[in-house]
Structure 1
Amino acid sequence: MYDIWNRRYTGSKYKLADWISDLISGNCSGNSFCDIFAGTGIISYKMIDKVDEIYINDFLYSNELIYKAFFFQSKFDENKMEAYRAKFHALNASDLNDNYISNNFGGKFFSENDSRLIGGIREAIEADRSKLSEKEFSILLASLLYSADKCANTVGHYDAYIKGHDIVDSFSFDLISPYKADKSNIHISREDANELAQKLKCDIVYIDPPYNSRQYSRFYHVLENITCWKKPPLYGVALKPEPENMSEYCRSNANVFFKDLIDSLNCKYIVVSYNNTYDSKSSSSKNKMTLEDIETILKSRGKVKRFETAHNYFNAGKTDFNDHKELIFIVKVK
């Protein structure tokens, strides 16, 4: 079974999650926590048992779906989920017709057989949607996303697929392992962070925005496509749909939006993750906000504590990161 951290994701805080959650627990007090750019959801997972109320937000459809699958507190039929697992695990690609996934991504992001299985299972989940609760639907679809990601012919994102080799069939459907607790105050949303900040009231807000020009909706377009299942036309070598859901934090005016976010927050503590990739040789890796931008904006809200640790950042091979660090800023709001 898949745990929430069993996926490849640019900027994932999996290896830093214990360090970050310990810093939050040791330097902040409060009963409510918001992970406003939640990404993989790993920081939410680490904090969920430490607070009474938690807000988990991200602007990707696939991430929202994954949060519902793992965290949405609703009963589901485990025997039914196991029956679907056995059914999907036993499928043979040769028994399936071609579909949207195999026609577009076969032999590229996935092997021909794996893509036929992924598309066939997605069609089956959609066909049975009326027989499934929201929790059950989310579990099955999130399980498909995790299983597909595990066999994807990529370096960890979907901006490109690996060329020049035969793709081995390796897809195997397995279920995720949902978080189980008697906890009602879990709020899951897919909102623009700046808009959510206007109405949010929370003790601790954790902020880990994208800092460079890599748009996550484009990086993970295949998973977004499988989630939404609108079957749009695709373009270019990477087979992307028309652009949508683009973040202002990946553009040159990112610091303007960051300041608006920080100024809008109604909270006791602001916790910000930042990695020092702004000296990168790759233009797409260069941060849109400098360390000085971050510190100046945060100091306007209160006293700032700074923590740092060495961290190996995602690197596709074009950039040499020397002395790379992950920084955490904790602001006690005045």
Structure 2
Amino acid sequence: MFDIWNRRYTGSKYKLSSWIEELIAENCKGSSFCDIFAGTGIISYTMLDKMKKIYINDFLYSNEVIYKAFFDQTSYDESLLLKYCQQFQDLSVNDISDNYISENFGGKFFSYSDAKKIGHIREVIESDRSKLSDKEFSILLASLLYSADKSANTVGHYDAYIKGHKISDTFTFDLITPYKTKKSQIFISREDANDFAKKLKCDIVYIDPPYNSRQYSRFYHILENITCWRKPELHGVALKPEPENMSDYCRNKAKVVFKGLINSLDCKFIVVSYNNTYESKSSSSKNKMTLEDIETALSARGEVKRFETSHNFFNAGKTDFNDHKELIFIVKVK
């Protein structure tokens, strides 16, 4: 069974989540919380049963399905899901046909056999959609995403696959573990953060924006592809579809859109997570905003408190510098 943190995700705050939770508890007051660039959803998870209302937002299709699977409080038929799980675990690769995943990603991002299974399972989930509730559909699809990610022939994202070796068959379908809460109302959305902020009223807003030029919709294009299941034409060595959901936070206008986000928030406390990779030697790893840019934008809304801790950063092999830190800025809004 998968928990929400059992996936590889660039910028995941799993190892920092306890520290961030403590800082919020010590410096912020309120009963409603928004995770506006939710990513893995781990920070929202830490707020379960601590807040009356939790708003979870991200603009990736795959993340939205994952949040619905873990956090939506609608009832579901657990015995039905276990039957599907057994069916998918009993699959024999010799009994299933080639499909979109095996034809495109087999022998590259997954072994050929694993890709056949992943594609077949996705087709079954889609064909049985009318028999499933939205919650059951989300659980099965999120479970497939987690199971596929665990077997992927990558370094943790899908910008490239590992070449020059035989890819082992490691795929096993397993279910995610949905979370239950009696104290928190959960609201899930898939919107551009700046658009979402304009209609949000919330006590505490946690902001963990993209840091550099790496577009998450491109980094996780295979998970997005499996989620949407439009079967688009693919391009290049990494077999990506046409660009979609491209973030301005990964472009040179990052500090402008960040300032716009901060200025539009209707909240009591703003909590921003950031790191000092802007000194990186890799152009794709260089931050699009400096710490000064962030502090300038935040100080317009109130007094800024700054906290930091040492943290190992994501490294694709081109970035080499010491003293990497994760920083948290907390503003009590004037």
State the TM-score, normalized to the length of structure 2: 0.99
Write out per-residue CA displacement over residues 252-287 of structure 1, whole angstroms, 9 at most, x where no aligned residue.
010000000000000000000001000101000000
Q: Match for 2:18: what amino acid?
A: D
Report the equivalent of 2:226. 226
The 1-side partners of 2:155 and 2:62 are apart by 19
> 2: distance between equivalents of 1:73 and 1:156?
30
Tell me the equivalent position of 1:189. Answer: 189
Correspondence for 2:205? 205
What percent of counterpart residues are identical?
77
Counterpart residue type for residue 78 of structure 1: E
Q: Look up the match of 1:38.
A: 38
Partner of 2:205, secondary structure, is strand
In the TM superposition, residue 118 of structure 1 has moved relative to its aligned partner by 0.1
Rounded Cα–Cα distance in structure 1 between residues aligned with 2:49 and 2:167: 41
Contact kept in structure 2, 1:73 and 1:183, CA below 8 Å: no
| Partner residue, 2:312 | 312
Check conservation: 1:271, 1:329, Cα contact below 8 A: yes
Deviations 1:191-213 (A, max 9, x none): 01000111100000000000100
Aligned length: 334
SS of the aligned residue for 1:199 comes to: coil
How far is 1:309 from its partner? 0.2
What is the alpha-carbon distance in structure 1 between the residues aligned to residue 180 and residue 90 of structure 2? 27
Q: 5+ unaligned residues in a row in structure 1: which ranges?
A: none
CA drift of 1:82 comes to 0.6
Q: Supply the distance in 2 between the matched residues of 1:288 and 1:214 (Cα, whole angstroms).
A: 10
Partner of residue 323, structure 2 = 323
Conserved 8 A contact 1:213-1:285: yes
In structure 1, what is the equivalent of residue 29 of structure 2? 29
Q: CA deviation at 1:183?
A: 4.8
State the one-letter code of the partner of 2:24: I
Answer yes or no: is the 8 Å Cα contact 1:32–1:51 preserved in 2: yes
What aligned pairs does 1:131-280 form with structure 2 within 5 A after superposition? 131-183=131-183, 185-280=185-280
Which string of whole-angstrom CA distances, capped at 9 and with x for unpartnered residues, describes residues 128-150 of structure 1?
00000000000000000000000
The answer as to whether partners of 1:273 and 1:327 remain within 8 angstroms in 2 is: yes
CA distance in 2, matches of 1:151, 1:239: 18
- Displacement after TM superposition at 1:181 (Å): 2.1
Q: In the alignment, residue 330 of structure 1 is paired with which amino acid? A: I
Matched position secondary structure for 1:281: coil
Instruction: Read off the aligned partner of 1:95 and give its amino acid letter.
Output: D
Q: C-alpha displacement at 1:184, in angstroms?
A: 6.0
| 1:9 correspondence with 2:9 | yes
The 2-side partners of 1:148 and 1:115 are apart by 9
Instruction: After TM superposition, list the pairs within 5 Å mapping 1:63-142 onto structure 2.
Output: 63-142=63-142
8 A contact 1:73–1:184 mirrored in 2: no
Give the superposition deviation at 1:301. 0.3
Find the residue that maps to 2:320 and give its secondary structure: coil
CA distance in 1, matches of 2:117, 2:97: 9
CA distance in 2, matches of 1:122, 1:14: 28
Q: Deviation of residue 321 (structure 1)?
A: 2.6
SS at match of 2:277: coil
Separation of aligned partners in 2, 1:49 and 1:235: 44
Report deviation, 1:298.
0.4
Matched letter for residue 196 of structure 1: F
Measured in 2, the distance between the counterparts of 1:221 and 1:56 equals 21
Change (3 A) 1:154 1:97: same
Displacement of 1:182 in angstroms is 2.8
Q: 5+ residue gaps in structure 2?
A: none
Q: CA deviation at 1:316?
A: 1.0
The alignment's TM-score, normalised by the length of structure 1, stands at 0.99
